[in-house]
Amino acid sequence: MTLKVVIDKAACCGYGVCAEICPDVYKLDANGIVYVDDEIVPDGQEELAREGAEACPQAALAVVEV
């Protein structure tokens, strides 16, 4: 199963909870807004990527199957 991260950048307020939970997937830019190097979740990071997305207070992240 392949998972992809979907980001609603307009909703991101820069709390950084996602990056704290799953720093291998979620990064923060100079303004604290989330981004990913690759939208495909690396093998072994699926659960943490989901946890990071679910922890977002603004619901700016989703992890979906592709």
Q: Encode pLDDT of 30-64 as tens digits.
A: 999 999 999 999 999 999 999 999 999 999 999 99
The answer as to CATH 3.30.70.2740 being correct for domain 3-65 is no
The domains of the chain are located at 3-65
Half-sphere exposure in the Cβ direction for 40 (13 Å, CA):
5
Query: How many C-beta atoms lie closer than 10 Å to residue 26's C-beta?
Result: 24
Token representation of residue 17: 């909870």
CA 62 to chain centre: 7
The reported pLDDT for the residue numbered 50 is 98
Cβ atoms 53, 63 nearer than 8 A? yes
Task: Give the predicted TM-score (pTM) of the model.
Answer: 0.94
Residues 2-41: pLDDT tens digits? 999 999 999 999 999 999 999 999 999 999 999 999 999 9
- Give DSSP secondary structure letters for 23-34: TTT-EE-TTS-E
